[in-house]
Chain A
Amino acid sequence: MDKNIKILIVDDFSTMRRIIKNLLRDLGFANTHEADDGLTALPILKNGDFQFLVTDWNMPGMTGIDLLRAVRADEKLATLPVLMVTAEAKRDQIIEAAQAGVNGYVVKPFTAQALKEKIDKIFERVG
């Protein structure tokens, strides 16, 4: 697969963005960009052909689940693969994310292995 794909990482904590960025870099994905909530992420996504979105759920401004819905509702972004990396662990929330069209769900705290597995699985499906 193309390791140079453009990836947007959305999390309100800069340390978590950096952890995800480092893990992605270790997996060979170096073309990563960052946003700190849904409101800032959405225009970035709309303006720059991203091929993968990694987002947190609980963020001020616009939450990850709302960002996911906005992405799925947008004609241009509708098929963008989305991985949710979040501390939210309620069954109802996981079901909600699945129904909203998430491609993968990783609960924090997570391991490098778990992140890699989900990403591999997503791109296996998306092709």
Chain B
Amino acid sequence: MEAVNLIDPNSELVSELKACAKLLTEKLQSNQYEEASVLIQSMTQARDRHMFQSVGKLTRGLHNAIVNFHVDADLSQTQKIADAGINDASSRLQYVIQLTQQAAEKTMDMVDEASPIATNLGQEASALREEWLRLKRREMSPEEFRGLYERMNEFLMQMEVGTASLNNSLQNIVLEQGFQDLTGQVLKRVIGLIGDVEKDLVQLVFIASQVEEVTGIVTAKGDDGDIEALIEKRKHEAEGPQINKNRQDVVSGQDEVDDLLSSLGF
């Protein structure tokens, strides 16, 4: 959005004020107080008008940033998202949760499918190995050998079918990782929006401070007790996973948790 600069020395406001000021000095020096007072009033009005225009411009910019975010349809992937009726940041984030959950569940389904096959093949292989060793030690009767002969054939067939199924599960697990691409795109868009909104907010705060300054509004001093209570509360508030590994008040892993707890006598 267009930046709003309140104190641009080349702005219309400044040249208007300069002209008025010059005139005002002349009027005052020639004792024309009534006209001087009219001039002062028009200067105030010019400043207020400029202020309102600036705030208006900024508000429109902010509004545009939010509206733009809603109507994107140019990227091929976001089309898919728009089709699902997702058109704002929080539902985009919901979509991320949904996709990651689906991927996690499908992956676990695949593992649940694959794991008994691998276990069975492993068990049959070790049972056959026992038999094989008996054969090598010549402890096997011809009757038992015929049994082993059949069992081996059976096992090789199981092996063929089983490994095909395992491969299939592994391929599907890889395919499921596609969520990373889709969620990455959605997250990048949301990060972009946050960046835009942040810029706009900084601008808004800046204007608000200017408004306060010219209008003489004094910000109430925050109650220190409240702030301390807030800091204390934050210490214990749930934050989810830690992103910043360098924070001093955070443990870096299970070892540090164990050390901390044992230092407390647990």
Contact = CB atoms under 8 A, between A and B. Distances in A.
Contact-size category for B: 20 to 34
A105 B108 contact: no
Interface in B208-266: 235-236, 238-242, 249-254, 257, 260-261, 264, 266
B249 A91 contact: yes
Nearest to A103: B266
A95 B264 contact: yes
A36 to B, nearest CB: 13
Interface in A45-86: 57-58, 63, 65
Contact of A105 (B238, B242, B250, B257): B257
A88 B240 contact: yes
Interface residues of A, number: 28
A10 interface: no
A13 interface: yes
A89 interface: yes
Contact of A15 (B104, B236, B266): B104
B5 interface: no
A107 interface: yes
Interface of A: 13-15, 18-19, 22, 57-58, 63, 65, 87-96, 98, 105-108, 110-111, 114
25 contacts: A15-B101, A18-B105, A18-B108, A22-B108, A58-B239, A65-B238, A87-B240, A88-B239, A89-B241, A89-B250, A89-B251, A90-B235, A90-B236, A90-B239, A90-B242, A90-B250, A91-B249, A92-B235, A94-B257, A95-B260, A95-B264, A98-B264, A98-B266, A106-B257, A114-B254
